[in-house]
C-alpha cells in the first residue's frame, strides 16, 4: 500500500513459462531484448493511485538497482492487455507500468541510444527550476537546503516520463517541504486514467524518503493536508 492508501500489488513474470507467441504479444520485444523477467504493477483504481504505484514500484526498482540488476520504467511501449492477463487484472484495478528485470548490456544498442536521445535522458533541470523557498518561486540554493541538499538532489536526478521532471518543491522551514506537480495536461492524460506524470510524483516521493532515511533526517510524508500556498500547481503532499 502506498502513502495515499491505494492497494498495490506486483507480480514477477518469467518468460521461461511462456511460449514464443505469448512473448510477442507482450509488445516490448525489439525495445527490450533478452530480459527473461518482468515486474508488473497493478493498483486499485482510486484517487492518487498513480502516486501510490510510482512510490511503491520505485522502491522495488531502487532495491533491484542496489543488487546490481537492470530495470527500465515502461508506461506506454507495451500492450497492456497481454500483461493484464498475466497479472489477472481485476475490474477495479489499473496496470500503469511494468519494468524488465535483468542485467544491463555492456554496450547500448542503436535503438536504445535513439530512445535516450529522444527522452533527453542525460539532461536534468537545474535546481533553480525545481526547488523554491517560497510560493513566488524564488529559487532555493544548494547551500540554503543544508542537510536536505542530498535529498533534493536525489529527487532531481530521479527518472520521469520523457525526462520532463514535473516535480516542484517549496521549502517552508528547515525540515518541512511541500511537493507539487507542474502538469503538462495533454501529455499527462494522453493515456486516459493512467496519468504518467502523477506516477512521476510517486517516484519523487520515494527518492525523497529513501534519501532522507539514509541520512537519518526527520520526517515523513503527510498526505491529508490542504495546499499551504494555494499555487497554480497541483499540490501532492508535505514532508514534515
pLDDT for 35 equals: 73
Per CATH, 8-116 and 122-239 having the same topology is answered yes
pLDDT for 151 equals: 98
Which fold does the domain 122-239 belong to in CATH? NADH Oxidase (3.40.109)
pTM of the prediction?
0.89
Long-range contacts of 133-136 (CB under 8 A, 24+ apart): 133/170, 133/171, 134/170, 135/170, 135/229, 135/230, 135/231
pLDDT block averages, 10 residues each, the chain of length 240: 94 77 62 78 95 98 94 73 85 92 68 45 86 95 97 96 96 96 95 95 98 97 89 96
Q: Phi then psi for 178, rounded to 5 degrees?
A: -120, 130
Which fold does the domain 8-116 belong to in CATH? NADH Oxidase (3.40.109)
Query: Of 40, 58, 53, which is closest to residue 1 (Cα–Cα)?
Result: 53
| Every domain of the chain and the residues it spans | 8-116, 122-239
Amino acid at each position: 500500500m502506498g502513502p495515499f492508501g491505494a492497494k498495490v500489488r506486483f507480480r514477477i513474470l518469467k518468460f521461461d513459462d511462456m511460449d514464443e507467441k505469448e512473448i510477442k504479444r507482450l509488445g516490448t520485444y525489439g525495445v527490450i531484448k533478452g530480459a527473461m523477467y518482468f515486474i508488473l504493477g497493478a493498483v486499485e483504481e482510486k484517487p492518487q493511485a498513480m502516486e501510490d504505484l510510482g512510490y511503491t514500484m520505485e522502491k522495488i526498482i531502487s532495491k533491484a538497482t542496489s543488487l546490481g540488476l537492470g530495470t527500465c520504467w515502461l508506461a506506454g511501449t507495451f500492450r497492456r492487455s497481454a500483461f493484464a492477463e498475466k497479472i489477472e487484472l481485476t475490474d477495479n484495478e489499473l496496470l500503469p507500468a511494468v519494468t524488465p528485470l535483468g542485467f544491463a548490456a555492456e554496450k547500448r544498442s542503436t535503438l536504445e541510444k535513439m530512445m535516450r536521445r529522444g527522452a533527453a535522458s542525460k539532461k536534468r533541470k537545474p535546481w533553480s527550476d525545481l526547488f523554491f523557498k517560497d510560493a513566488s518561486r524564488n529559487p532555493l540554493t544548494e547551500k540554503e537546503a543544508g542537510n536536505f541538499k542530498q535529498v533534493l538532489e536525489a529527487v532531481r536526478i530521479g527518472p520521469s516520463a520523457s525526462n520532463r521532471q514535473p516535480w516542484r518543491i517549496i521549502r517552508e522551514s528547515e525540515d518541512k517541504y511541500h511537493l507539487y506537480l507542474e502538469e503538462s495536461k495533454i501529455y499527462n492524460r494522453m493515456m486516459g486514467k493512467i496519468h504518467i506524470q502523477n506516477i512521476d510524483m510517486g517516484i519523487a516521493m520515494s527518492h525523497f524518503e529513501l534519501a532522507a532515511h539514509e541520512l537519518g533526517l526527520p520526517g515523513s510524508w503527510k498526505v491529508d493536508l490542504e495546499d499551504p500556498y494555494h499555487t497554480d500547481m497541483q499540490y501532492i503532499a508535505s514532508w514534515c
